[in-house]
Structure 1
Amino acid sequence: MGHTARVSAIAWTAAVSLAAWLWLLLCQGFFWRTDVRLPRRRDPEDWPAVGIVVPARDEAAVLPASLPSLLAQDYPGQAEIFLVDDGSSDGTGELARALAHARGGLPLTVGSPGEPPPGWTGKLWAVRHGIALARARGPEFLLLTDADIAHEPDSLRELVAAARTGGFDVVSQMARLRVESRWEKLVVPAFVYFFAQLYPFRRIGREGARTAAAAGGCVLLRAETAERARIPEAIRQSVIDDVALARTVKGGGGHIWLGLAEKVDSVRPYPRLHDLWRMVSRSAYAQLRHNPLLLLGTVVGLALVYLVPPAALVAGASTGDAATAVLGALAWLVMTGTYVPMLRYYLQPLWLAPLLPFTAFLYLLMTVDSAVQHCRGRGAAWKGRTYARPDTVTDEQPS
């Protein structure tokens, strides 16, 4: 009787997992599709001025592969780059000036804001300084892009055309991340897949929908919108600043768009599992608002959705319980099918798709580790800085 009850419990759990996957497949904004891209360009009547803000901290290793792509932008209007050296110790600012001198192209200004005051993340303090420099030129748009992001020559033109003709306050693209090492191939496409599952791109672009997100590597923002929404002051404590920016803009009635990039690429390598682990774990618990109950729910949810299907298939096959095996197999099949488009987008072999449960298990461990590091006082650590929870800092504003 105990064995039968145990098998029945596994079968019911597998059925719940399959139901969850059918709901995700049909009702979660078709998150698994990868066709949300910038619309075909329609040039505006005039090309507005753009200030390109690049926060950079110890980025000398990647700057030669990224900054020249910004300097070489083929943009018909006025555009200027403001690279903000956020206390680098590797000569980032000097290298940026040397690259601009050697390559020419768009004008480059290198600034330095000093150390961030309490209540600010370093990146957003640098962005604040860069926006202040750009505003002196009176741009209509601000392009916030990271120092490890490379743009094809017409990237800025495409972004501005989409914002102008589509009436968007924010146009953001999820940069295509590097997938060269074995661990990058296993983990990186899943990272974007999980992000799209949490923030379906189709819902983000729909006016009236509550879902809001952006990808911090490439955010084109109307300068007027930034001023009205008090960006970045309003989100100065946010570790996940791109999502916070999008929520602030959309909460104020702004129209935002997010999709996958075709002409924007990250050049930052993550060759080892340790590198990818740090990338995810440094902000995973912040994504859960440092809430233990949300952490517990996330762990249970990841286990139910991603780990139960293969476990049910193995359990059913080993015990002769055909119903459990079939339910687990069907859930795993749906999961695998939804992952295939993302692997195709990243030009990866499709045999990686059935391995998604293993990758999800890694993400589960990364999320738990993020909470553990936070409890040890080492949460949200990046490049020599560790950020406290937002509710533990003062609310002082810099003059």
Structure 2
Amino acid sequence: MNYEEAISYIEKVSCSGIMPGLVRIQALLEKTGHPEMDCNVIHVAGTNGKGSVCTYIASILMQAGYKVGRYVSPTLFDYRERIQVNGEWISRKDTAYWMSRVREIDERMQSEGIEGASAFELETVMAFLYFKAMACDFVVLETGMGGRLDATNVVPKPVLSVVTSIGMDHMHFLGNTIEAIAVEKGGIIKEKRPVVIGAGRQKAVDTLIRISLERQSEYAVVRAEDVHMTYADLFGGQQFDFESYKELQTRMVGRCQPWNAAIAVKAVELLGKMTATDCPVQLDVLPKDVLSEQVVRKGIASAYWQGRFEVMEKNPSLIIDGAHNPDGVQSLVDSMKAYLSDKPVILVMGVFADKDYRQMLEMVSDCSDTLIAFKPDNPRGLAAEQLKETAEPFFKRTLAAKSQAEALAIARKIGEGNHAIVCFGSLSTMAGWYQLTGRKSSDEEYRQNY
């Protein structure tokens, strides 16, 4: 299989949709020699913030000199973005090679009467194989959805688990209460393995503490109020204090980012307690010997995660944000109120039909009187006219665009250079904003060359 054939194959398998459960992937891992056992895994789950927290953790570990694998879900720009080592995406050649191997084993299992794996399961196994082959010191592993039955939840002894902010999303899979969703996310907490809890809502925190105690796992809770802002600038980043760390700096300007960074700081502090026996894979140097305050500071300062309250253009301000559920939108609203309260805002929104878009519209209406709707280029996308109709009670002016490009063009025309434009609603639209503004993804040069 070449790269194009590998992508065609995985797209075909993806038609089966989401398939929670661990039986299929465990069978596949057994047939591939259990590569997940040969990785020092930091497992991260959560409704919001897990991508940013993973970015901060990986950045700190790379500053310490470690080779860090990272498994990303969802991707923004390219299929290969989901599997990275020290920030570089897996090559087209390696994607084809490892997918061919996984496909061959999966098809052999199907011939033996075993149910075929889902696309996410195949990708997860491919990632473990690649990280093992690349001899990664650590793997920062992001769940796809939930935790307990997520395909990533096959590592019996992660070096650390992290649960970020928990909110109401994917309820048809995870449950209809915060406690139920917390139980699903808390499924990544393993017996006698440490965990950082940044779940936000008290009911979620209490549930995760109970799970940690039941599993005799050391835990640390990081709350938003533990972080104290000292400086924030839309174009210059943020500065904050957290426990003994004073004036930590981050380039990411979303108001939730200092909290996400603090969760990562606490995570590496727990890694600093590791002994050689805690690591499935031997390290040349233990974290306690290299994770200095200077390394942590540099890691936080250099971390960047695209599509999260990201300023694409300065004058007038054009900002994109992947907020796609009520909790994510609350963070977006907090950021708009902090940075854009002195100027009128035009909102541009494209969202999936299975999201709570009515509540999201009501929440953002405090920040603007104009909303432009469009349908994301995705089968799950909500029709622009339907979104417009739902938005009408909350906004003075609503418009439906025929495409993402037209939506931005309308916003620019209406704003006449005097309004900030904020685009949000789905991570699937982030690549489109990059294309429309002529910006490049962080790995585009690598992607073109390999």
TM-score, reference length from structure 2: 0.25
Structure showing greater relative contact order (alpha-carbon pairs closer than 8 Å, 6 or more residues apart): 1
TM-score, reference length from structure 1: 0.28
